[in-house]
Amino acid sequence: MKKTLVAALLATTVAVPAQADVLVDNVTGITMDADGKVKRFEALVIDDDGKVAKVIGRGEDRPRTDYREDGKGRVMLPGMIDAHVHVMGVGFGALTLDLSETNSLEEALDKIRTFAAENEARPWILGRGWNQEKWGLGRFPTAAELDSAVADRPVYLERVDGHAGWANSLAMQAAGITAQSKSPAGGRIETLPGSKQPSGVFVDAAEELMRKAIPAPRANERDLALAEAQKVFHRYGITAVADMGTTIEDWQAFRRAGDMGALNLRIMSYASGPEQMVLIGGSGPSPWLYDDKLRMNGVKLYLDGALGSRGAWLKRPYADDPGNYGLPLQTPAQLRNILVRAAQGGFQPAVHAIGTAANAEVLNAVNEIAESFDGDRRWRIEHAQIIDPVDLPKIAENGIIASMQPLHQTSDRLMAEARLGMDRLEGAYAWNTVLQLGGKLAFGSDAPVEPSDVFAGYAAAITRMDANGQPFGGWLPKERVNREEALAGFTSDAAYAGFAEGRFGRLLPGERADFILVDRDPLMATPEEIRATKVLETWVGGRKVYDAD
Amino acid sequence: MKKTLVAALLATTVAVPAQADVLVDNVTGITMDADGKVKRFEALVIDDDGKVAKVIGRGEDRPRTDYREDGKGRVMLPGMIDAHVHVMGVGFGALTLDLSETNSLEEALDKIRTFAAENEARPWILGRGWNQEKWGLGRFPTAAELDSAVADRPVYLERVDGHAGWANSLAMQAAGITAQSKSPAGGRIETLPGSKQPSGVFVDAAEELMRKAIPAPRANERDLALAEAQKVFHRYGITAVADMGTTIEDWQAFRRAGDMGALNLRIMSYASGPEQMVLIGGSGPSPWLYDDKLRMNGVKLYLDGALGSRGAWLKRPYADDPGNYGLPLQTPAQLRNILVRAAQGGFQPAVHAIGTAANAEVLNAVNEIAESFDGDRRWRIEHAQIIDPVDLPKIAENGIIASMQPLHQTSDRLMAEARLGMDRLEGAYAWNTVLQLGGKLAFGSDAPVEPSDVFAGYAAAITRMDANGQPFGGWLPKERVNREEALAGFTSDAAYAGFAEGRFGRLLPGERADFILVDRDPLMATPEEIRATKVLETWVGGRKVYDAD
């Protein structure tokens, strides 16, 4: 009887003003402590505000509470924090039809038909992942074939590699594609054999002809995407994120969810550039809203591009493209101007910098500007991937936070070797060096670019090896961090990077009761085991928001 | 001792979760009752949520409360509601330097100098109201004279009639005005005697050269404007408004105030067109936010212009401009499309319609559309100024709300006679006919177009006479409403027009304790006395937000 009551009480995700206090007993609890060390505990008391009231160690007395929840000895960790994501990108990704597992055209058409039927309200059906080679088709699929699955709405599906797209007739009509349409430079409108009639497949630059016809998502689709994103993060055991590049449309979706009591993910928002910063925040960051579920912290800026596309801005040319240094996306004056404007308003700047020149530039700019501003600014560099070793000490000088993504290292490894050459990798993904020099680290995933799989990221952080154990012994293994540092990077240090310390990120009295129950101990398990961690339950503010069962 | 405590408790405008219950005793209380009749009372109990707990009639027992406030026999009315304003327009107006009372150039320069010194953070100094004739100057003032008052920032001041503007040198520099600048068609850049040098004054169309140089307000200026607007409304005894044409920038200012606990005016927001509607509201109206202080209700549309500029769309040509019918601003298809989009999302449309053709068009469009939508839609026509008598019965047919502004009638009277001719005034500002035919009325001011002086509006509503008692006996006096109807128009009916009935607008148990104390009884005083009503105190949600002393 009592158990049913507890379950009913705890299962709800709707905010109610009054909530009883709860003892979650019999857990293998792990958290970063106030002194930055790991603390272990056996039970936790949640107060009626959804905060941690008490953390109970081995052999300590349990207080009287209204309810008791048996943790059954499972491992309790603080809710994980992903310090660099694109919330709405994750949500829209989750709403998109995934054809990557299909093995024939027929199977794909069935899947498309079913998806369209299940998503009647969507004006366009969008998807990705098809591969005519895997299907054994020997040719591209056609618009007519796609029409046979969905004829009442436009459909547009990207190929697995993103280099081609497959449209149905209504989609081509919406894009104004006819037999008279010309292929653009760098692209090709495929045609039916022996005909000028477009077949339905658009290659490379021709994809843009279709993409620009896809309408911007409607408000209800944004709301749906946010709901989906929350589910994705909760499944991974993530209870808080930093959203990098929030637009006013994104912000409005966050607020709608907050207003309706449907926001169960803590979002630290960084506006997409200075105009959105002012539109969203006004003359400064927002207050913490909805019981610490949402705050507009600052502004995301791009100083360069990515290594893969050779957009990252380097001090010396690309090893595999002599003469190419990549490109800065802001002039020195622009960067300083935006940093000053942000800092004047108390906004926290988060600057995307990948290449050595970009990282040097932002480090120098902050150094020039920082002394004009009092207080605790926590300038952030996002990615901070390839830093010239001579610049690395500058990270600590102004209390700069390096917001880094362990899975980028394992994904990028071979590409980084090609772009830079083996002799220029000192200072690449230099997590440990950042810490050893006194810098601050925050870990994230850059989802949806990488999956927000925090235990895969944790395993990469402590091994510098990928899911296949490659390379054996780890890539530049001196840049491994230890298990405690990795845990802090995904919890307390990620909270600090967003001015959220004391609010969430640790299981200490007064902080929000955000925690997860998992099936193994990340401080004890092997890296392979850690990658296979199963998140059993996710709790936000003392309420269960995900249960694997 | 106790009195001090009460005063300290009640004077605060900061939201605190717990508040004691308060008896406000010894008042001449007046409110519309649930049955639409006037109810009188002697005391009121406010509960700890800032709602009315009890309304106490003559001779009834007073309950025990934590505090007692003596109303000293003053008249208590529900907080007034202005059903049509532009909140930020009122606020920016209040932030603008007013030179209309100055009697010499020297006096004006002193006032400008003082205003600039008191408003150091403002990048531009803006003002209005100067008149070189009143100053006895015999010429326009010059930029050099203005520079002598303010040389560190651009200054731009509009003449009393709005047909000329006066700039200082920095303002002209910002606008790129030089001796080579040419006067545009329909305007004139004044020059110094015997010189091509611009003197600093810009006439008619040339004003645009200056206006376009004035930067959009910054977020902190918007916040300041909202704070000023709240003060203006509170001084007039207004506790709630319908904001007609909210932009996302306006909305963000409202939310910032709400988030900071600084929103003390209830705002029913109508977005500025369908794009802002979706951006602000998403797929439907917002919930009531901040304890019923803010809701995004629907969308404001313009179907025509105004009578004065002959933009109002008429069935027959203007009497003083044969051949001119005015103009619709939406095609029939556009209007219906927007109304349907709004109604599909549950948004309340509020359509600006002034002329006979515009009013007929919106009445017909609603009639065609209404049957497709269930529920209580409360389609609003804003202004509804000149309605063809044959169309008047259509207002009641679909429960349409005529949102009308009594002061427009007294201001527009002579102009309306000129534009339409004496024989076409049946159906002009037809307040009483709307009510008699079973339509709904909501009263407002259109501030800052007219002052939001609700007691002047009330006096006009019951007399059809202006502040000078003109015309004697009232203009088309059959369209007067009675005192009870006028009170309802500015309280309970204005709340109903914004879906706020039961939340505020009446002093009944369960509604928000929004009330004012005034120095006379609007149901008893003469119209002249009513115009001179002094608002002594204004209370919102059980807290005093304005005290005349």
Residue in A252, A278, A280 closest to B279 by CB:
A252
Give the chain A residue whose CA is nearest to the CA of B250.
A279
B53 within a domain of the structure (yes/no):
no
Give the chain B residue whose CA is nearest to the CA of A294.
B259
Q: How far apart are alpha carbons B357 and B424 in whole angstroms?
A: 13
> Does position B527 have pLDDT exceeding 80, yes or no?
yes
Q: Map residue A32 onto helix, strand or coil.
A: strand
Q: What are phi and psi of A165, to 5 degrees?
A: -135, 150
Quote the pLDDT of residue B3: 41
pLDDT above 70 covers a percentage of chain A that reads: 97
- Sheet containing B515-518: order of strands: B38-41, B28-32, B75-78, B515-518, B535-540, B543-547
Q: What letter represents residue B349's amino acid?
A: P
Quote the pLDDT of residue B284: 96
Asked if residue A479 and residue A432 are part of one domain, the reply reads: yes
Measure B168 CA to nearest chain A CA, in Å. 27
Q: How far apart are alpha carbons B44 and B42 in whole angstroms?
A: 7
Instruction: Indicate the burial class of B179 (C-beta count within 10 angstroms; 0-12, 13-18, 19 or more).
Output: exposed
Measure B238 CA to nearest chain A CA, in Å. 26
B18 within a domain of the structure (yes/no):
no
- The residue-averaged pLDDT of B30-47 equals 96
Residue in A249, A260, A283 closest to B279 by CB:
A249
Q: Which helix (H) or strand (E) holds A333?
A: helix A332-344
- The residue-averaged pLDDT of B457-475 equals 97
Tens digit of each residue's pLDDT (9 = 90 or more) over A303-331: 999 998 899 999 999 999 999 999 999 99
CATH number at residue B444: 3.20.20.140
Q: Spell out which residues of chain B touch residue A219, defining contact as CB-CB under 8 Å.
A: 278-279, 281-283
Last residue of a domain, one of A165, A191, A212: A212
Tens digit of each residue's pLDDT (9 = 90 or more) over A230-240: 999 999 999 99
Q: Please say whether the beta carbons of B2 and B10 come within 8 A.
A: no
Give the chain B residue whose CA is nearest to the CA of A260.
B287
Q: Spell out which residues of chain B touch residue A253, defining contact as CB-CB under 8 Å.
A: 282
- How large is the ipTM? 0.85
Host domain of residue A309: 219-547
Residue in A218, A248, A286 closest to B259 by CB:
A286
Measure B187 CA to nearest chain A CA, in Å. 34
Count CB pairs under 8 A between chains A and B. Answer: 49
Contact A222 B279 (CB under 8 A): no
Contact B260 A289 (CB under 8 A): no
Quote the pLDDT of residue B19: 61
- The residue-averaged pLDDT of A428-439 equals 97
Number of domains in chain A: 2
Asked if residue A536 and residue A410 are part of one domain, the reply reads: yes
Model confidence, pTM? 0.88
Q: Spell out which residues of chain B touch residue A293, defining contact as CB-CB under 8 Å.
A: none
Last residue of a domain, one of A212, A245, A264: A212
B390 within a domain of the structure (yes/no):
yes
Asked if residue B169 and residue B123 are part of one domain, the reply reads: yes
Could you tell me which of B449, B441, B338 has the C-alpha nearest to residue B392? B441
Asked if residue A378 and residue A441 are part of one domain, the reply reads: yes
Tens digit of each residue's pLDDT (9 = 90 or more) over B113-143: 999 999 988 889 999 989 999 999 989 999 9
A197 within a domain of the structure (yes/no):
yes
Angle at B424 (CA atoms; ends B422, B429), nearest 5 degrees: 100
- A145-149, B154-158, B186-190, B223-227: lowest mean pLDDT where? B186-190
Q: What is the length of chain A?
A: 549
Taking all residues of chain B, what is their mean pLDDT, rounded to a whole number?
94
> Does position A246 have pLDDT exceeding 90, yes or no?
yes
CATH number at residue B100: 3.10.310.70
> CB contact, 8 Å: A123 with chain B?
no
Q: Please say whether the beta carbons of B509 and B524 come within 8 A.
A: no
CB contact set of A114 (below 8 Å; sequence gap of 6+): none
Asked if residue A184 and residue A319 are part of one domain, the reply reads: no
Asked if residue B226 and residue B128 are part of one domain, the reply reads: no
Instruction: Indicate the burial class of B363 (C-beta count within 10 angstroms; 0-12, 13-18, 19 or more).
Output: buried
Measure B250 CA to nearest chain A CA, in Å. 10
Q: What letter represents residue B323's amino acid?
A: G
> Does position B453 have pLDDT exceeding 90, yes or no?
yes
> CB contact, 8 Å: B106 with chain A?
no
Q: What letter represents residue B112's amino acid?
A: I
The DSSP line for B91-128 is HHHHHSEE-TT--SHHHHHHHHHHHHHHTTT-SSEEEE
Tens digit of each residue's pLDDT (9 = 90 or more) over A96-134: 999 989 999 999 999 999 999 999 888 899 999 899 999
Quote the pLDDT of residue B160: 82
Contact B283 A220 (CB under 8 A): yes
**Alpha-carbon distances, residue B192 vs B139, B146, B200 (angstroms):** 11, 14, 9
> Does position B9 have pLDDT exceeding 80, yes or no?
no
Tens digit of each residue's pLDDT (9 = 90 or more) over A203-243: 988 999 999 999 999 999 999 999 999 999 999 999 999 99
B490 within a domain of the structure (yes/no):
yes
Residue in A220, A279, A287 closest to B259 by CB:
A287
Asked if residue B207 and residue B226 are part of one domain, the reply reads: no
Q: Which helix (H) or strand (E) holds B251?
A: helix B248-259
Contact B218 A283 (CB under 8 A): yes
Given pLDDT bands bounded at 50, 70 and 90, which one contains residue A378? very high
Could you tell me which of B544, B522, B413, B539 has the C-alpha nearest to residue B466? B413
Measure A361 CA to nearest chain B CA, in Å. 29
**Alpha-carbon distances, residue A245 vs A240, A280, A381 (angstroms):** 16, 12, 14
Instruction: Give all strands (DSSP E) within B334-492, no chain letters.
Output: 348-353, 380-383, 401-404, 440-443
Residue in B256, B260, B287 closest to A259 by CB:
B287
Contact A286 B248 (CB under 8 A): no
Tell which of B223, B224, B250, B259 to mutate to test the A interface (max A CBs under 10 Å): B259
Residues 272-301 of B with CB under 8 A from A: 278-283, 286-287, 289
B3 within a domain of the structure (yes/no):
no
Tens digit of each residue's pLDDT (9 = 90 or more) over A39-57: 999 999 999 999 999 999 9
Asked if residue A261 and residue A189 are part of one domain, the reply reads: no
Q: Spell out which residues of chain A touch residue B290, defining contact as CB-CB under 8 Å.
A: none
Could you tell me which of B263, B281, B283, B264 has the C-alpha nearest to residue B272? B281
Quote the pLDDT of residue B162: 80
Asked if residue A395 and residue A359 are part of one domain, the reply reads: yes
Quote the pLDDT of residue B13: 41
> Does position B277 have pLDDT exceeding 60, yes or no?
yes
Tens digit of each residue's pLDDT (9 = 90 or more) over B392-445: 999 999 999 999 999 999 999 999 999 999 999 999 999 999 999 999 999 999
Contact A282 B248 (CB under 8 A): no
Beta pairing class for B75-78 and B28-32: parallel
Q: Which letter does DSSP use for residue A399 in this model?
A: T
Quote the pLDDT of residue A162: 80
A21 within a domain of the structure (yes/no):
no
Contact A220 B282 (CB under 8 A): yes
Given pLDDT bands bounded at 50, 70 and 90, which one contains residue B163? confident
> Does position B206 have pLDDT exceeding 60, yes or no?
yes
Contact A289 B259 (CB under 8 A): yes
Instruction: Give all strands (DSSP E) within B435-511, no chain letters.
Output: 440-443
Last residue of a domain, one of B212, B237, B255: B212
- The residue-averaged pLDDT of A278-285 equals 96
Q: How far apart are alpha carbons B499 and B268 in whole angstroms?
A: 9
Residue in A220, A253, A279 closest to B252 by CB:
A279
Quote the pLDDT of residue A38: 97
> Does position B11 have pLDDT exceeding 90, yes or no?
no
Contact B283 A252 (CB under 8 A): no
Measure A261 CA to nearest chain B CA, in Å. 11
Could you tell me which of A79, A84, A92, A19 has the C-alpha nearest to residue A546? A79
B93 within a domain of the structure (yes/no):
yes
Quote the pLDDT of residue A449: 87
Asked if residue A275 and residue A381 are part of one domain, the reply reads: yes
Contact A252 B280 (CB under 8 A): yes
Beta pairing class for A198-204 and B80-85: unpaired
Residue in A220, A249, A260 closest to B287 by CB:
A260
Q: What are phi and psi of A448, to 5 degrees?
A: -90, 10
Asked if residue B171 and residue B232 are part of one domain, the reply reads: no
Contact B252 A280 (CB under 8 A): yes
Q: Spell out which residues of chain B touch residue A226, defining contact as CB-CB under 8 Å.
A: none
Contact B223 A289 (CB under 8 A): no
> CB contact, 8 Å: B253 with chain A?
yes
Contact A282 B223 (CB under 8 A): yes
Q: Spell out which residues of chain A touch residue B218, defining contact as CB-CB under 8 Å.
A: 278, 283
Could you tell me which of A58, A78, A168, A25 has the C-alpha nearest to residue A458? A78
Quote the pLDDT of residue A19: 61
Tens digit of each residue's pLDDT (9 = 90 or more) over B209-235: 999 999 999 999 999 999 999 999 999
Contact A259 B286 (CB under 8 A): yes
Q: How far apart are alpha carbons B100 and A97 in whole angstroms?
A: 65
pLDDT above 70 covers a percentage of chain B that reads: 97
Asked if residue B295 and residue B393 are part of one domain, the reply reads: yes
> Does position B257 have pLDDT exceeding 80, yes or no?
yes
